Structure 1
Amino acid sequence: MSRDDLDMPLRQPESPEHERARVTRRTLLTAGLGIAALSGLAACSGDEPTEVEPRKMEARAADDELPSETTPPRIESDAPLITGSFRSAKMAGRETRWAVARPAGVSGQLPVVVVLHALNTNEKSIFGSKLEMQTVVQQYVDAGNPPFALAAADVARNYYHARADGTDGAAMILDEFLPMLAANRELELSTERIGLFGWSMGGYGALRLGAMLGAPRVAAIAVSSPALWADPRNFPPRAFDSLADYQANSLFGQQNAFARIPLLIEIGSSDQFFTYTRQWAAGLHPPAAFGTSAGGHTNRYWRSVLPDQVAFLGRNLAR
């Protein structure tokens, strides 16, 4: 069965000792990136590059608008979607929507993976017909693996850090959304130790929140096509308000924060962010599990790697 098929069999869980250095159908990031990859980061590490102005990226950057593609056949899922909203002070008083999916047939308190969405998507996008992460989790649980829930909140175009418009998606997730999940007895979720998942803008967000929370609060992080920029001259205004904003919130130079957090990165070999992501991952010690195969910044690629990501998150949450 091809990787483009949705109802693919789930791979058997890997042993823990192979999680950070697994070799599967994809290629593993090697230490050979070393000098060549990290040399491009020098411009990001200086404290005072005062003369640099950001260049405007392409009119339609890959994280800004999802390409048209054939929608895969729908898989019906019994996992219910619970939705609600709250007024968020961290999002400048905006009514903020959220969604939670618990696997069907499971009762009692569950650990949770917080899902951080991409640009021009929202809290329901991961549960829609093109990605259906809740269905992948249901298949994982139905195969006899430990259950967990998924929870997402809408940050609009905030990019998961404090912005000039007064919004801060990261603070909303950490200071409002997680406490709300813990306090809502009907949801029956444990937030003492969480997983993080995100794609594109949300991939950057999951990494940033993981660095802020650290281990052991974060059990594991899985990201697809994280929107990372290594060059302070080449970031879009939608991501950072200024050079100072970029310097304050760039993840380059922050790799040590992930030394004790299991991390899985998946990105297509033709993805716009492939080079920057590979450069960033070269600075991780120990190395992350890094998966790549043919594919771009598309829902089809992201859906194809979800089973591995769900299994990775589930294994680490269950420890």
Structure 2
Amino acid sequence: MPLRRTASSHPAADHPSGPARVSRRAVLTSGLGLTALGLAGCAADDDTVTVENRRVESAADDLLPSETSAAPVTDGPPLITGSFDSTHMGGRPTRWAVARPTGVTGTLPVVVVLHALTTNEHTIFSSQLGIQKVLQTYVDAGNAPFAIAAVDGAANYWHARADGTDGGAMVLDEFIPMLGSNPDLDLSVERIGLFGWSMGGYGALRLGALLGAPRVTAIAVSSPALWADPRNFPARAFDGFDDYQRNSLFGQQDAFRRIPLMISIGSSDQFFTYTRQWVAGVHPPPVFSTGPGGHTNRYWRGVLPDQVEFLGRNLAR
């Protein structure tokens, strides 16, 4: 079923116990299957969901230790931070952070970052990942500058939920327009890049499919938490079977035909098989990067330079 952008309260919801195997042909022809990214921990009792009156455990585990406090911002370009009251997030104050490379003036294009589960808008700039330092190195080498902007989507999984919140609509309707209208940021949002990891990897792919080209110039994601089995998905990512079907990216690969796409995932990542399965349906083939590593900050930090270069090169076109 095609992805639909909706503000209603019921679209797109982790610990495995032997994933049921579904062939690539079965997934692609049925249009069922899901990408849902998540990094970090939630309560274990939410790791099952009722499907057709039976309880099943999700196929792949996106849980990592939960952040207990905002990650400290280290060296590199200073962050510009703020918040807005988001209608799509129940009216709550929604924090954001932007990094512009130092030594650069004028209006810049921007890459919008969607974070992983139990992390926030500061995590991508933290000592664990430090994307702003990678950006500064890229610009100092003589490449065209751009900015990086992240927003706090909580554990919403970047789509409309039964509780009335919608992290994806918040990004599209509130955050991106704010980036373009805030004179202190001096950013252009006519053409944007998208980046995300784990839960945010799914979110970046989903929003990229909704916006399409030429608005989205490139997407780079790490370890997207993809669930390709329609019987196995976590309740924290989808509110039910129908929600899963509405927000599945399996069968939606044509939406990426004109968007440069880079997917990086460790060969030991629990989502490796599902990600390869999804990538096989994308034409032309995306840049697919893999190597030793799991669903960890260490792997994600290691692939950031290539991802920043990929996004910057396409933004500069």
Give the TM-score normalised by the residue count of structure 2: 0.82
Measured in 1, the distance between the counterparts of 2:304 and 2:147 equals: 15
Query: Equivalents in 1 of 2:314, 2:54: separation in Å?
Result: 41
Structure 1 residue 275: deviation in Å? 0.5
Matched, 1:281 2:282: no
Name 1:147's counterpart in structure 2.
145
Counterpart of 1:39 (choices 25, 43, 59) is 25
Contact 2:192 2:215 (C-alpha < 8 Å) held by counterparts: yes
Q: Which residue does 1:56 correspond to in 2?
A: 57
Cα offsets for 1:64-120 (capped at 9, x unmatched):
22499xxxxx99633010110000000011110000000011111000000000001
Structure 1 residue aligned with 2:18: none
Which structure dedicates a bigger proportion of its chain to strand? Answer: 2
1:195 paired residue number: 193
- What one-letter code is carried by the residue in structure 1 that aligns with 2:90? A
- Cα distance, 1:57 vs structure 2: 2.8
CA offsets 1:274-319 (integer angstroms, 9 cap, x no match)? 0110000000010000010010000000000000000000000000
1: CA distance between counterparts of 2:28 and 2:189? 37
**1:62 and 1:297 in contact (8 A); partners too:** no
Cα 1:311–1:54 change in 2 (3 A) is farther
The 1:165/1:46 distance shift into structure 2, 3 A limit, reads: closer
Q: Which letter maps to 1:56?
A: E
CA contact (8 A) 2:96 2:152 kept: yes
Whole-Å Cα distance in 2 between the matches of residues 173 and 67 of structure 1?
23
1:112, 1:189 within 8 Å by CA — same for their partners in 2? Answer: yes
Contact 1:255–1:284, Cα closer than 8 Å, also in 2:
yes
Once the two structures are TM-superposed, the CA of residue 53 in structure 1 deviates from its matched residue by 5.2
Match of 2:81 in 1: 83
Give the number of aligned pairs.
275
- How far has the Cα of 1:41 moved from its partner? 1.3
Q: Determine if the alignment matches structure 1 residue 100 to structure 2 residue 98.
A: yes
Alignment partners' CA distance in 2, 1:224 and 1:290: 10
CA–CA distance in structure 1, aligned partners of residues 74 and 32 of structure 2: 51
Matched residue, 1:291: 289
Please list the CA deviations of residues 192-245 of structure 1 after superposition, one character each: whole Å capped at 9, or x if unmatched: 000000000000000000000000000000000001111011100011000000
1:85 touches 1:96 (CA, 8 Å); kept in 2? yes
* Secondary structure of 1:207's aligned partner: helix
Look up the equivalent residue of 1:284 and give its one-letter code.
V
Matched, 1:117 2:115: yes
Give the aligned partner of residue 65 of structure 1: 64
Q: 1:176 to 1:75 in 2, by over 3 A?
A: closer
**1:164 aligns to what?**
162
The unaligned stretches of length 5 or more in structure 2 are 1-21, 34-50
User: TM-score with structure 1 length normalisation?
Assistant: 0.82
Aligned residue for 1:90, secondary structure, equals: helix
* Residues 218 and 260, structure 2, Cα contact 8 Å, conserved in 1: yes
Instruction: Give CA deviations for 1:121-154 in whole Å, capped at 9, x if unaligned.
Output: 0000000000000100000000000000000110
- 1:204 counterpart = 2:202: yes
**Which residue in 2 is equivalent to 1:18?**
none
User: Over aligned residues, Cα RMSD in angstroms?
Assistant: 2.2
Q: Is the 8 A contact 1:136 1:306 kept in 2?
A: yes
